[in-house]
A and B are shown apart, each in its own frame.
Chain A
Amino acid sequence: MIIVLIQLAIPLALIGAAIGGRIAHRRRGAHIERRRAAVAHIAVSPRPAHPGLGELSNGELVIGSVVVGADYIRQLVGGLRNLIGGEVRSFTPVLDQARAESSLRMLEAANAKGAVAVVNVRFEAVRINNNASELVSYGTLVH
C-alpha cells in the first residue's frame, strides 16, 4: 500500500506542478498585457534611426532579459515531437511569452530613463541548458 502511494506520488506531483505551471503561464500572459499599456507611448524600431522617433541620445543602451524553462508536460510533448518532426507547438508559446517579457523589461527600463524611443532593437535567444533559454532584447535609447 505504502509502496503504491510512493509510486503514485511522483507522477502526481509532476502532473500537479505542470498544471500549476500552465495556470501560471496564463497569468503571466495577462500580466504582460497589463504592463504593456504603461509603455505603449515608447516607439520601438529595429532600424538604427527612424524619422520622427526623436533626435537626441545620451548614448545609452537598454537591455531586458529573462531565462525561462518549459513545464514538465511541455518537455514530454516536445520530446515526443522530436520523433516525428514538425513544429514543436508545446514550446512555441513559452518562448513567445518570454520574448514578450524580455522586450517589456527593456521598454520598462527605457521608460524609467524617460526615453521616447528605442532604436536598433535586437532580439537574441541563447540556450543555457537542456531546458532553460535566455531571451534578450536590447537597443539604443532616444530622448
Chain B
Amino acid sequence: MQLVNTETIPGWNITEVKGLVSGNTIRAKHLGRDIGAAFKNIAGGELKAYTELLAESRAEATSRMIAEAQALGASAIVNVRFTTSTVAGGAAEMYAYGTAVVAVPAS
C-alpha cells in the first residue's frame, strides 16, 4: 500500500478512484504517564511518554485506514491528512483520512 499526501504519485498513473477512506483511534494516557509528565512539566522540554503514545496512536489510525483501503481493492492512498483533537477527559483522537486509488507504474 502506497501512502502519499500529494494528489498524485510521481512516476505512477492513477487509474481508478475507490473513494474516501479513514481510520481513527481515541487514546487516553494512563495515570502513571500523566504523573510523570506533570513532574517533567516543571522543567519543560520534551514529554517523551506522550510523544510515543501519540505516535503509536497515529500508526494505529493509519493502519485502520489502510485496512479500509485494502478492503476496497485499492493499491494506494493519496491526499492523506492527519488530524488530532483532544476530547473530554484528557483523551486524544487521532484521525487519518485520504483517497483510496489504484495506481500503476507510468511506463
Contact surface of A with B, Cβ cutoff 8 Å: 13-14, 17-18, 20-21, 24-25, 28, 48-49, 54-61, 63, 65-72, 74-75, 94, 98, 101, 119-120, 122, 124, 126-129, 131-132, 134, 136, 138-140, 142
B51-77 to A contact mask, C-beta < 8 Å, 1/0: 100110010000000000000000010
In whole Å, how far is A52's beta carbon from the nearest beta carbon of chain B? Answer: 12
In whole Å, how far is A132's beta carbon from the nearest beta carbon of chain B? Answer: 6
Q: Which of B6, B43, B50 contacts A119 (CB 8 A)?
A: B6
Task: Give the distance in Å from the alpha carbon of A114 to the alpha carbon of B12 in the complex.
Answer: 19
Tell me which residues across on chain A come within 8 A of B90, comparing CB atoms. Answer: 129
Pick 18 A–B contacts, CB within 8 A, sort by A. A21-B43, A25-B44, A48-B6, A49-B8, A56-B10, A59-B3, A59-B4, A59-B103, A61-B5, A63-B55, A67-B46, A67-B51, A69-B47, A74-B44, A126-B84, A129-B86, A134-B50, A136-B84
Q: Does B45 contact A (CB under 8 A)?
A: yes
Known: A21-B45, A24-B45. 19 other contacts (CB 8 A): A24-B44, A25-B44, A28-B45, A56-B10, A57-B12, A59-B3, A59-B12, A66-B46, A67-B50, A69-B47, A71-B41, A71-B43, A71-B44, A101-B46, A124-B82, A124-B84, A126-B84, A139-B5, A140-B6
Asked if residues B86 and A127 are in contact (CB atoms below 8 Å), the reply is yes
Q: Does B9 contact A (CB under 8 A)?
A: yes
Asked if residues B12 and A71 are in contact (CB atoms below 8 Å), the reply is no
